[in-house]
């Protein structure tokens, strides 16, 4: 479980760790915002987690440089996070990407999903095509930076370990899905 205290009424949900450090959330804002532990490790999201891999053919893949205070902070990954209780993974990934990176959910075509499941927790990567170009924007404290990266350049970034492990398979499926759609 997250050991930080929830903000009190009137308090900001963000506070600096140390003077000059970036702001970070003070604690769970939703019942799903908690750690789960088991024999395969500790994972964020009581009801699982989901992230959005959005591809724009002209720009590449949208990556999030994760805030230093976050788990595996300083690495590159996908906008995403903990699912709410009863929330479908696709909805959660779209919600999180909108909250963190201003990704317009109505401007996407979902191509496929990929699920990593350890039995007591799962992470769903939702892969989508941007139907129209858009500018991503940092819209909460969970990002240092957002960047569109060409498909060939993604592996050159210092990736979140989970995303690094999943990227080769996701890249292959994205290439196949985009080739079938005739838009690669």
For 72-126, write each residue's pLDDT tens digit.
Answer: 889 999 999 999 999 999 999 999 999 999 999 999 999 999 999 999 999 999 9
Contact between 43 and 118 (Cβ < 8 Å): yes
Copy the structure tokens of residue 2.
Answer: 């997250």
Over residues 141-159, mean pLDDT: 95
Rounded Cα distance, 48 and 89, in Å: 8
pLDDT for the residue numbered 117: 96
Region 48-56 average pLDDT: 97
- For position 31, what pLDDT does the model report? 86
The dihedral over CA atoms of 133, 158, 80, 121, expressed in degrees to the nearest 10, equals: 150
Pairing outcome for strands 122-130 and 108-117: antiparallel
**Average pLDDT rounded to a whole number, residues 138-151:** 93
When mean pLDDT is compared across 2-16, 37-51, 159-173, the lowest value belongs to 2-16
How much is the pLDDT for 8? Answer: 34
Q: pLDDT class for 21, splitting at 50, 70, 90?
A: very low
């Amino acid at each position: 479980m997250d050991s930080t205290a929830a903000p009190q009424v009137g308090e900001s949900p963000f506070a600096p760790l140390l003077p000059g450090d970036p702001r970070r959330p003070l604690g769970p804002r939703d019942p799903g915002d908690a750690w789960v532990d088991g024999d395969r490790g500790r994972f964020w999201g009581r009801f699982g987690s989901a992230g959005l891999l959005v591809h724009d053919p002209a720009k590449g893949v949208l990556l999030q440089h994760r805030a230093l205070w976050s788990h595996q902070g300083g690495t590159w990954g996908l906008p995403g996070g903990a699912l709410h209780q009863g929330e479908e993974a696709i909805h959660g990934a779209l919600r999180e990407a909108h909250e963190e990176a201003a990704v317009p959910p109505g401007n996407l075509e979902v191509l496929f999903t990929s699920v990593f499941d350890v039995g007591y927790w799962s992470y769903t990567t939702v892969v989508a095509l941007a139907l129209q170009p858009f500018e991503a924007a940092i819209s909460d404290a969970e990002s240092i930076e957002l960047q569109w990266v060409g498909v060939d350049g993604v592996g050159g970034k210092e990736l979140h370990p989970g995303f690094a492990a999943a990227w080769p398979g996701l890249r292959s499926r994205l290439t196949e899905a985009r080739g079938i759609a005739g838009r690669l």
